[in-house]
Structure 1
Amino acid sequence: MTGTPPGSGEDERWLGHWIGAEPAPVPGLDDAVTGTASGRGFSRVMFRKSFDLDAVPETAPLRLTADGRFVVWVNGREVGRGPVRAQPRRWRYESFDIAPFLERGTNVVGVLVTYYGRATSWWHPAPPEGGINGDACLVLEARLSGSVVATDASWRVHRSTAWTSIGASGVPCEVLDARELPVGWTRPGFDDAHWPTATILTARHWGGLGRSRPPVSPFGKLLPRPVAVLGGATVRPAAVLDARIRARPAWASDHPAARAVQQLESSGEPVDGGLPLSVTVGADRTLDTVLDFGAVTAGFVELTVDAPAGTVLELGYREKPKRVGIVETTSDYESGARYICPGGRADYSALEPAGLRYLYLRAHAPEAAEVTIVDVAVRENVYPHTGEAYFSSDDEELDRLYRAGIRTVQLNSFDAYTDCPTREQRSWVGDGVVHQMVHLATNEDWRLAEHYVELANSPRSDGILPLSVAGDFEQYEGFTIPDWSLHWVHGVHNLYRYVGDRARLAGYLPTIERVLRWYEPYVDEHGTLSDLPEWNLIDWSSVFTTGRTSIVSALWARGLAEYAELSDWVGNAGSAAWARERHAGVASSFEDFWDPRRGLYVDHIVDGERRPAASQAANAAAIVSGLAPPGRWEAIAAAMIDRSTVVTRSWIGGDGGYDTRKEEEQRRGVQRIDWDAEWEIVRAQPFFSYVVHDALARAGLADRIIDLLRDWSAFLHDGYDTFGECWGWGTPVHGWSSTPARDLIVHVLGISPDLPGSARARIAPRPGLLRNVAGAAPTPHGLVEVRIAGENVQVDSPVPVRFVEPDGASREFPAGSHRLTIRRPALTTDATSGSRRARLQ
C-alpha cells in the first residue's frame, strides 16, 4: 500500500483523539527543569476497536500515529507499521487504504504500540509536558463511506505483560513470552469485555486548554509520511552450518544473543539435516544451531516452531561468524531476541528490525521436550530500489561493484539513511550524503534522498547539527562531529543540482548559514580554522586536524562556496557576498599548508610549524573547495593517488577489527605516526573517497577513478555482496562506503546535472580502458542514457545536453538522441602507480 489514500490529506481536521491505557504521568518541577522524561519505561499496549459494516467501501482511508512505534492489523491481517523516525516536534503519521482488509459484518482494528521509555538509536522521548506523552499513546481515524472509526474512550486497551526489553547501545533486544499473549486479539470474535476502555489524553500544560486532538503539543501538527513504504523479499537461510545437542551451560549473561553464542567451542552431539529440525531438549540439554543466510539481510526475523509451552529460543544476530576462542566486546553480539513458546505450533515475527547474515539459535526447556524448528526467515524491510536506471560494461568486476553499491545503500535505507543495519541503525548526519548521491544517480525514487536533508535539518542550540538525528544522540545534545554538518550542506547542494525545488530548498539556507557561522569563532588571524573542539572525524583514516587544519578549513570553504551559489539562486545577495568573503579569507592563507618539495598540502600546522603528515583528504578537499590554484590540480591529484606513496592507516582500527588500544590512545590525544610522514600519503577510508574521486574528476583525471574503484572488490568475498566500513575492518555493510555505484554513473559514464534541477545534463564520459559501457541515470524529466562502444557515444536525453570532451572542450545539443565520438586519451594500466618517492628523492 503506497501513496496517500483519498480523504487522508495532511490538512484535514483530525477526528480521532489521542488515547492511552491510562492518564499519562504529570511531570513534576524537577522534570520540567532537568528535561528528564517523566513516565513509564518500556511498555507495549494493545488497542482494539470493533465496528460493523453493511457493505465494504471501495476505499477506506486510515491514518494513524503513535508514540513511539506501532503495528496495525485489520481483521487479523497486518496492514502496516510506523511511524517513520522523526523529531517529536515534527512527528509523522502513516496512511493506508484498508478497504482490501474489510469484510461485511463485524470488523476489528487492532494496534500494538511500543513505548521505549528511554532513547534508542532511532527514537527519543517527547519533552515532558504531561498528558500526551510519557507512555504509549495512539491517534487513529478511518473514513468508511459516511461513517468514521476514530480513537475515543470506547476503544479497549490492554497493557501487555508478554514483552520486556533489554537495551544496549541504542538498539533494544526484544524478549517475548508468547504464553502471555491474548490469542486472537486482532481478529473478530475475541472477547475484550474484560479489557478496560481507553483514556482520552489531554494537554495539561499552560495554553493546552485540555485539547485531545491533533494538533496539540508536544507533537504539534502531524506530518504525512515523506518516503516510500518499506518491504522486500522473504529470505531463508542458505545453509545450516551447525546443529548440535550440548550440555546446558551455566549462563554467563542474561542477554539472549550472548547466550546464543556461549560455549560454541564446547563439544556436542551433531544433529544431521537442515530445516525442519526436530530434537529433544531439556533442563540439561540445549539445541545449538548456526544458520547462514549467505549474505547480509535486514528486516524482521520470523520463526515457526512446534514445542511445549515454556520452551525458550535464544536468538543471536551477527553480521560475521562468531570466532571461537576470540574475546569480543559486547557490541559484537548485542543484537538478538528471546522467544518463549506458548505451546504447540506457533509463529514468531519480530517487532524490531535487525540486520544479520548469521542467526545463532539456542533452544532449551525446563524439562524434556520435543522441539521442531520448522522454518526460519527474514522478511526484508528496506527501501525500494525502483526504475530502469542501470550500468553495464564489458568488465564484470565493475558491474559487480555497481550492484554492490546499490545493495549496500538499500540495506541502510529504512525510514532514514543509516550507518549499518546490524550494529546501530542510527541516522548519522554525515554518512547519509553518500547514500543520497547513490540514490540520485541510480534510483528513480528520490524521496529518501530529499528526506535525508529534511530529517537532519535539526540544528543544536548553537547552530551545528548533531552526530545523528531522531534518536539518542540528538536528544542528549552531547558533542558532535562538526564536519558532518558540512557534508549535510553538500547534500543540500546536491538537491539543488538534481531536484532544483527553489521554494523547498530556500528553507534550508538559514540552517546552512548557522552551520557555517558556527566555525567563525575558530577562524584564526591567518583566516584558516584552528583549534577546533569536539570530534573532527573526517573519516576513520589517520589524519590530523589539530592546530591549524587544512582539511576542515577546505571542507568549510567548500560549504561556503556552495552556500554562495545557493544564495545567488534564491536572490540572497548579502549572504552570498558574506560567504565569498569568508572563502577568500581562507584562500588567502591556505598556501601556508603547501609543501613545495612534495607538491602536496599537509594536514595541519601546529605552533607555527608546518607538520609533514599529508593525506588524500587534505589534498582532495583543497581541490573541491577551489582553494588550490587550478594550475596545480592535475599534479596534486596524480600525486595523492600514487600507489608507491599511499599508505592505509587508521587511528582506531586495523588487522580485521577495532583496536581498543588505539581507541584509548585516541581519546587521550595520542596519535602515533607509524608511517613515513615525510614521503607517504595517508589514504582516505571508503567514506571520504567520494571527495577524492570528485577531486580527480575536477582535476581532469576522472579516467583514473576506474582503477581506484577496483579496490572495493576486496569487500566482496565469502558470499558478502556489500561494501564494508573501512579498509580491512569494520562492519561488512556500511552505507557510507557505497560511492562506486555513484561514481560509475557520474564519473565513468559522466552523467550529472549541468543546470539546477537537471534542466540540462552534463555528459562527460571517462571510460578509461573500457571499450563497451552503458548506463542510464534518473532525472525529474526522465532517464538520461549513455552507451559507449569504442570511440562512439550514443546519448539519449529528455533535456538539453552539454557534452564535455576529456580536454575540457564542450558542445551543446538539444534534447533527444545524439551520436557522438569521444577522443580517448592515452592510458596505461599502471596510471596510479610508480615510484614517486624515488623521483622526489
Structure 2
Amino acid sequence: MSTPVSATASPHRPAAPWHTPGWLGHWIGHPDDVAERDSRGLPEPSSKNGLVRHLFRTTCEVESPPVRVPARLTADSRYVLFANGERVGQGPVRSQPRRMRYDDYDLGPYLHPGTNTISVLVTYYGDPNAFWQPASPGAALGGHAVLVFEADLGGRWLISDGAWSVKRLAGLGAAPPYGFHGVPVEVVDARELPVDWPAWHDGEGWTPARVAHAGHMGAAARSQPPTAPYGALLPRPIGALEETSLTPEAYWCDGEAGYAAELGHPVAQVAHYCARHKDLPRARTSAPVRFRATSGMARLVIADFGRVVCGLVSFSLTAPRGTRVDILYQEKPVDPSAAGRISNITGARYIARGGDDAFEAMEVNGLRYVRLLITSPVPGDIAVGEIRVRERLYPIRGEAFFQSSDDELDRLYAAGRRTVTLSAHDAYVDCPTREQRAWVGDGVVHQLVHLTTSTNWSMARWYPQLADSPRSDGLLPRSVAGETEYRDGLTIPDWALNWAHGVHTLYRYEGLSAPVRELLPSVERVLRWYLPYRDERGVLEHVPEWNLVDWSAVFLSGTSSILTSMWARALREFADISAAYGNVGNADWARGLWEEARAGFEVFWDPERETYVDHLVDGIRQSPASQLAGATAIVSGLAPSSRWNAVADWIADPRRLVIRSWIGGDGGYDDAKIADQIRGVQDVTWDPRHEVVRAEPFASYMVHDALALCGRTAELTRALRDWSRFLTDGYDTFGECWGWGTPAHGWSSTPTRDIVTYLLGIEPGEAGFVSARIQPAFGVTARMSGAAPTPYGLLHVRVTGTTCEVDSPVPFTFRAADGTTTAHPAGHTILG
C-alpha cells in the first residue's frame, strides 16, 4: 500500500518551532482597556461594548535578516499583520474563545537590514456577531482588544510586551449589523486617518501598550499564554486563504436627486434613497466614474461583477473633503427596500479626507452588485476609480476534475465547486452574502464536495471539529463560534444529526484518524440526548426545540418518521465506527437502539401508497408522505430493502412532486408564513394523499443517497439536472431554495458530489479509502472522465459507452454495465 499524500498534506505554511503551549510573548492591550488592580488587589474587568480598532507597533534592528523568521500571533477578536507597511496576513480563524487559534508566518521575506517596523491592526468587535463570540470577561483578559506575538530572529526573540506602542484608530468604526445579517457594517472616516496609517507611527495618541496580567485567583499574574479565558492557544487548523483580485463587468450611474432623509445607518440610507428614486435616468459608464456634484444632492453608482463574489471591496475616490459614500452590497438586482429580501442588508460607509482617498474594506462581504450613494457637502468634481473585490476564500486544491460530452453536467460540477468555495472562509458558512454563520448542519454538504473535489481535506476535518462544542446537555448549538452559540439559546436538534453524519463521512474517507476518534464522545452524547423522546416502540415523538430538517414543508410534530430515521442513521454510523475501534459495548448499544427503532418504524408504513408518512398525531397515521420521509427511511436502513423500489417510485415520480415551504416562496422569506409557523399553523396547500412535497436543495443530498441505494440512476440524474435553473443571468452558483433565498448557498451543492460519487461512481470501498468502489452510471452521457482525491493520490475514471478505463492508487471493485462485480489491484485497468 502506498503512503498517503496530498489529501492529508499540511497547510502551506512554514514549519514552526513551537513545541510547548507556553509563549514568550505577553498579552498586551491599550492601557485604557487593560484592567488595573484596585487597592485590594482585585481585578476591575472592562465592560466596553462596540467595535474598536487599535494599531499596535514595534521596531527591531536587524543587521542581516535570517532567511527564515518564524513568527506566530493571535488576537481577540481579529488582526491584520504588517511588516514595514506591507500586509503579511490576517486572522485568526473563528473558534470558541477557550479554544482560540493562532497563525504562524515566515517574516524573513519582509525584513531588511536596519530598522524594521512590525504593525498589527487589532479589531475588537465588542458585541457578538456571525463569526465571533466574546470570551468571558474579567481578570484583565477578555472584554477588550488584546494581542500576543513572538518571532525568532535567529536566536534573538521579538515579543509582544510593554515596549510596544498602541493607538486607537478613531476613524475606523462600525454601524450595527442590519437586520438578521451578522456581518459588521464598517464605517471609515478618512478625515481621522493619515494616508499611510498601516506604517504610521508619528503624531499624537500613541501610548505604551500595557501587558495584560491575569488577575484571577491562582493565575499568579501570568501574562503569557496559556492563560484564562483563552486557555492553550491552538495552531491554525486549515491552510491560508487564496486571494484573487476581481473587477466589475459593468458600471451604471444615475442622475442626481435630493438626498431625501438622514437615517444614520448606511444600508438604510441607500435602501431609502433607492425606494424614493426608482425612476431616475441611468446611464452605463466605465471606471473611473466621473460627475459634478451639487451640494445637498446625491448620485448612485452601481457596479455589477457579473456573478456572486466574496472578499474585500476597494475603490479610489477623488472628492471634496467630507463627501460621504454609503455602500450597499447586493447579491440580486432587486429593490433594496423590498420586504422579504433579507439578503440585501450589508454595506459600509466611507467619508473622504479630500485627498488621496481610497476605501479598502476590512470585513469580508459577498455580493454581485455594489451600490455607492455619493453625496458631497459642497459642489465639486467626483471620480470613483475602479471598484475591486479582493476575494479571500479557502481554495479547492489539486487536479481533481470532471469532463463529459454533456455540457449541462459539466456546468453543474463547476457550479457546486464554485458555490462551496464561496462558502468556505475560515469555516464552512451557509452563504457568503447574508450571514456567514457556521451552521452545524449545513456543512455536511460542503464537506462532501471538498472530499470529492479537493486534495486538501483540512477544511473537511475542521468542520466537525469546530462544531464539536456541545451544550451542557450534549446537544450542539445550531451555529457555532458566533452570537448564536454565545447566547446558548434555542438549537436545531437534527443539525447535530447531520453533523454526526459528517463525522462518519470523514471516517469513510480518512479512516480511524485522530479527529474521528476525538469526535466520537460528542456523537454519543448527541445520540443520548434523544433517548427521553423515544416512545414504547422505540421511535421519536414530541422532540422539542426547532426541528428544521429542511426548508420544505415536512411534518415533524407528533411522532416523527423523519427525525426517527435521521437518528437511526446516526446510531448505525456510530456503531460502525465504534466497531472499527473495537469498542463492542458502544457498538452493541447503538445497534440495539437501531433494531428497536426498525421494529417500531412499521407504524409509519402506508401499505396503500407503499411509502412512509411524515408523522403520527395521537397515534394516528397522517396523510403527508414527503420525499424526505421515504428517502430517510431508506438511508437509515429502517425500511426493508424489499420496499425500497416502491418507496423510490413514490418519491421520484415527477408527476407527484410539488414544491412547498413553511417559511418562503415567491422570491423571498414570507413573514406571514413565518408567523404562522411560530404559532403552529401549517397551511396544507397541496393534496397530501396524492402529491409529494419535494425536498429543497439542502436535504436533497439524502434523497439522492436513497435513489443511489435503490440503483435509480436515471431518476437521480434527472433530479440533479434541476439545479440548472440556478445557472441563469450570469450566476454560476447554486441558490438556497427552489425559487427563493440567496443565489449562492453552500448547502445546495450536492450535484457536484453526486456527479463524482454516483455518475463517475467513485467511492471509498473500505474506510480510509484503502480500497475503492467504482460503479459508473453507464448511459447517462456518451463520454465522461474525471479524477477524485484519495489519501493515496488521485483516482482517475474514464467512461466511453460501456467501456471504463481506471487508474487507481488503491485496489478497487468494479461494477460493469451488466451488473457484474469484479475485484482489481491498484494500477491502470481497462474494463467493459
**Common fold by TM > 0.5:** yes
Supply the distance in 2 between the matched residues of 1:54 and 1:381 (Cα, whole angstroms): 35
Query: Partner of 2:268: helix, strand, or coil?
Result: helix
> What is the deviation of 1:639?
2.0
Q: How far is 1:528 from its partner?
A: 0.4
Given candidates 607, 620, 623, the residue that maps to 1:609 is: 620
Task: Report what 1:38 is aligned to.
Answer: 47
Match of 2:332 in 1: 320
Which residue, out of 363, 373, 386, partners 2:374? 363
After superposition, where does 1:155-234 map in structure 2 within 5 Å?
155-168=164-177, 169=180, 170-187=182-199, 190-191=201-202, 195-234=206-245
1:208-249 Cα offsets, whole Å, 9 max, x none, are 110000111111111111111112321111001343322222
The CA deviation string for residues 729-767 of structure 1, in whole angstroms up to 9 with x for no partner, is: 110000000000000000111101011110001101114
* Counterpart code for 1:49: T
Show the counterpart of 2:445: 434
The 1:532–1:639 alpha-carbon spacing in structure 2 relative to 1, beyond 3 Å, is same
Alignment partner of 1:67 out of 73, 76, 79: 76
Following TM superposition, by how much is the alpha carbon of 1:644 offset from its aligned partner in structure 2, in angstroms? 1.0
Cα drift, residue 145 of structure 1? 1.7
Aligned residue runs from structure 1 range 42-61, under 5 A: 42-61=51-70
Once residues 330 and 158 of structure 1 are traced to their aligned partners in structure 2, the CA distance between those partners, rounded to angstroms, is 40
Trace 1:329-478 onto structure 2 (pairs within 5 A).
Answer: 331-478=342-489
SS at match of 1:262: helix
Q: Percent identity?
A: 48
Residue of structure 2 in register with 1:246 after alignment: 257
Return the alpha-carbon distance in structure 1 between the equivalents of residues 46 and 614 of structure 2. Answer: 43
1:9-40 Cα offsets, whole Å, 9 max, x none, are 25364111000002646699xxxxxxx98334
Name whichever of 300-309 and 417-426 sits farther off: 300-309
2:89 to 80, 84, 96: 80
The alpha-carbon deviation at position 344 of structure 1 amounts to 1.4
The equivalent of 2:127 in structure 1 is 118
Post-superposition Cα deviations, 1:561-583, rounded to whole Å, max 9, x if no partner, equal 00000100111111101100100
Amino acid at match of 2:692: I
Helix, strand or coil at the partner of 2:822: strand
The equivalent residue for 1:94 is 103
**Cα distance in 1 between the residues matched to 2:16 and 2:32:** 31
Letter in 1 for 2:133: H
Matched, 1:672 2:683: yes
Per the alignment, residue 40 of structure 2 pairs with: none
Q: Say which of 25, 31, 38 aligns to 1:22.
A: 31
Residue 330 of structure 1 deviates from its aligned partner by: 7.8
- The residue number in structure 2 matching 1:143 is 152
Q: Structure 1 residues 562 and 808 mapped into 2: Cα distance closer, same or farther (>3 Å)?
A: farther
Distance 1:292 1:596, change over 3 A: same
Q: How much has 1:187 moved relative to structure 2?
A: 2.8
State the Cα deviation string for residues 383-410 of structure 1 (Å, max 9, x = none): 1111110111111011000000000000
For residues 192 and 110 of structure 1, do their structure 2 counterparts lie closer, same or farther at Cα, with a shift above 3 Å needed? farther
- In 2, distance between residues paired with 1:702 and 1:214? 55
Q: Of 307, 311, 322, which aligns to 1:299? A: 311
Give per-residue Cα distances to partners, 1:481-523, cap 9 Å, x unaligned. 1000001011000111101143331111110000000000000
Return 5+ residue gaps in structure 1 as ranges. 29-35, 822-841
Query: Would the aligned equivalents of 1:703 and 1:748 in 2 still touch at CA under 8 Å?
Result: no
What is the match of residue 299 of structure 2?
A: 287
Q: CA shift at 1:689, angstroms?
A: 0.5
Give the deviation of 1:368 after TM superposition.
1.3
SS in 2 for 1:507: helix
TM superposition score normalised by structure 1: 0.94
Question: Residue 543 of structure 1 aligns with which residue?
Answer: 554
**Cα gap change, 1:807 to 1:130, in 2 (>3 Å):** farther
- Deviation at residue 106 of structure 1 after TM alignment: 1.2
**Is the partner of 2:133 in helix, strand or coil?**
coil
CA change 1:544–1:266 in 2 (3 A) is closer
- CA 1:193–1:279 in structure 2 vs 1: closer, same or farther (change >3 Å)? closer
Deviations 1:704-751 (A, max 9, x none): 311111100000111010000000111000000000000000011110
Counterparts of 2:331 and 2:780, CA distance in 1? 36
- Is the 8 Å Cα contact of residues 21 and 226 (structure 2) preserved in structure 1? no
Residues 246, 288 of structure 1: 8 Å contact kept: no
What letter corresponds to residue 104 of structure 1 in structure 2?
P
Seen in structure 2, the aligned counterparts of structure 1 residues 442 and 272 have a Cα distance that, compared at 3 Å, is closer
Partner Cα distance (1:75, 1:782) in 2: 41
Partner SS, residue 363 of structure 1: strand
The separation in 2 between residues aligned to 1:368 and 1:79, in whole angstroms, is 40
3-state DSSP of counterpart to 2:73: strand
Aligned to 2:267: 257
Judging changes above 3 Å, is the alpha-carbon distance between structure 1 residues 381 and 503 closer, same or farther for their aligned structure 2 residues?
closer
What is aligned with 2:828?
Answer: 817
Task: Please give the root-mean-square deviation of Cα atoms over the aligned residues, in Å.
Answer: 1.9
Question: For residue 155 of structure 1, what is the amino acid of its counterpart?
Answer: W
- Given candidates 646, 671, 676, the residue that maps to 1:635 is 646
The answer to whether 1:278 aligns with 2:287 is: no
> Match for 1:150: what amino acid?
I
SS in 2 for 1:517: helix
C-alpha spacing 1:194/1:686, structure 2 compared with 1 (3 Å): closer
The 1:600/1:683 distance shift into structure 2, 3 A limit, reads: same
2:42 aligned residue? none
- The amino acid across from 1:58 in the alignment is V
Q: Per-residue displacement from partner, 1:399-442 (whole Å, max 9, x unpaired)?
A: 00000000000000000000011110000000000000000001
**Structure with greater contact order relative to length (CA < 8 Å, sep ≥ 6):** 2
Unpaired stretches in structure 2, ≥5 consecutive residues: 1-9, 38-44
Q: Which residue of the partner structure matches residue 311 of structure 1?
A: 323
Note if contact 1:793-1:820 (Cα within 8 Å) is conserved in structure 2.
Answer: yes
Mapped partners of 1:815, 1:416: distance in 2:
35
Q: What are the residue-to-residue correspondences of 1:528-567 with 2, within 5 Å?
A: 528-567=539-578
Q: Which amino acid aligns with 2:249?
A: A
**1:233–1:379 contact (8 Å) kept in structure 2:** yes
Q: 1:607 to 1:271 in 2, by over 3 A?
A: closer
Change in 2 beyond 3 A, CA 1:524/1:215: same
Do the aligned partners of residues 269 and 139 (structure 1) sit closer, same or farther apart at CA in structure 2, a change above 3 Å counting?
Answer: same
Deviations 1:440-478 (A, max 9, x none): 001111100000010001111110110000001111111
Q: Retained in 2: the 8 A contact 1:71–1:81? A: yes
Q: Would the aligned equivalents of 1:248 and 1:283 in 2 still touch at CA under 8 Å?
A: no
Partner Cα distance (2:295, 2:171) in 1: 23
Secondary structure of residue in 1 paired with 2:220: coil
SS of equivalent to 1:612 = coil
Flag the 1:663–1:40 CA change in 2: closer, same or farther, 3 A. closer
Tell me how far apart the structure 1 counterparts of residues 243 and 314 of structure 2 sit (CA, whole Å): 14
Any idea what SS the aligned residue of 1:409 has? helix
Q: 1:312: Cα distance to partner?
A: 1.0
Q: Secondary structure at the match of 2:53?
A: strand
* TM norm structure 2: 0.95
Cα contact 1:545–1:603 (8 A) shared by 2: yes
The Cα of 1:314 is off from its aligned counterpart by 0.8
CA change 1:609–1:806 in 2 (3 A) is farther
Secondary structure of the structure 2 residue equivalent to 1:41: coil
Whether the 8 Å CA contact 1:25–1:134 is kept in 2: the answer is no
- Give the direction of change, closer, same or farther, for the CA distance of 1:606–1:314 in structure 2 (3 Å limit): same
Q: Distance in 2 between matches of 1:10 and 1:715?
A: 49
Question: Is the 1:603–1:614 Cα contact (8 Å) retained in structure 2?
Answer: yes
Q: How has the CA–CA distance of structure 1 residues 681 and 768 changed in structure 2, closer, same or farther, with 3 Å as cutoff?
A: farther
Letter paired with 2:652: I
Task: Return the alpha-carbon distance in structure 1 between the equivalents of residues 631 and 482 of structure 2.
Answer: 32
